[in-house]
Structure 1
């Protein structure tokens, strides 16, 4: 597990965002806060509660320029079905080989099934770990993040963030940088 102040390991991967597959490279989010939450499996009770709680609080986080990524070992098809079924407005990272989970100490949460741990990292604008949530209640976790990051307070519209270029409509680009090794 990473600690507050550690550099956030960079990663390049694809993600499911609605019905699209998009490239995601963490370095493209430097200068923005990122919530990276790992969860065991799509369409399971706890993971569904957690994802829907992030969905319900997403507008508050986005208004403050905070990006949200969910990450598990599920396939692109499983992520796509999960995102569609629950109208998830944030990308679900593809990590079938667990490179991202291993780099963040989130692998082997349920070793017999090969599933990730439920753990969340907040990555600061400087690319360092700003907060770690190693044990979370899926039903209340998103609200805790919103409160801890101050996203429950109003923000003037003039300071709202711009969408990262890889999430902008009609944009397609190859991820830059190296994948986690």
Structure 2
């Protein structure tokens, strides 16, 4: 995992999204962007996190913030995930892992004593000018979406 990125310019990205769309840092300028990186679609923690952000989409919209979930899952899996759980946030596919690398969320993890490479659950708050204002690493899902909304409201 790389440095924090907090206070620096957000790394550029352009990714395919669910529903056949695209999302880019350039396209998000002018509004707050919440990028939440999650390990794998349709797993318990990732599902709960995505549902929490979806439930608060209107509240984020009121403060000019857009929420984008990012994983290495292919777009077709994201489409199924979104439909199955009635999610309403944008889900982006970083299938090649380039964006995960640039944001420093791809690295060695340990689960039950087994080491493997994966995405560290991390959220980035990017201001309307493209600066990283806040980073949450090793996110615990309960209450996280509210904490991010509170951070936007506090700026």
Query: So what's the TM-score if we normalise by structure 1?
Result: 0.77
More helix by share: 2
Counterpart in the other structure of 1:30? 29
Report the counterpart of residue 90 of structure 2 in structure 1.
91
Q: Distance in 1 between matches of 2:125 and 2:140?
A: 16
Shift of 1:29: 1.4
Q: CA deviation at 1:70?
A: 0.3
Q: Distance in 2 between matches of 1:44 and 1:77?
A: 16
Distance 1:43 1:53 in 2: 14
**Structure 2: runs of 5+ lacking an equivalent:** none
Q: Report which of the two has the higher share of strand.
A: 2
- In the alignment, which residue of structure 1 is the partner of 2:128? 125
Residues 46 and 139, structure 1, Cα contact 8 Å, conserved in 2 = no
Deviation of residue 109 (structure 1)? 5.3
3-state SS of paired residue (2:16): strand
Matched, 1:5 2:4: no
CA deviation profile, 1:144-175 (whole Å, cap 9, x unmatched): 11112128xxxxxxxxxxxxxxxxxxxxxxxx
Q: What is the number of residues matched between the two proteins? A: 148
User: Take 2:53 and 2:135, find their aligned partners in 1: how far apart are those partners?
Assistant: 16
| Superposition pairs of residues 30-109 of structure 1, within 5 angstroms | 30-108=29-107
Please give the per-residue CA displacement for 1:117-156, whole angstroms capped at 9, x wherever unaligned: 10000001111101010122112110111112128xxxxx
Q: Which has the larger radius of gyration?
A: 1
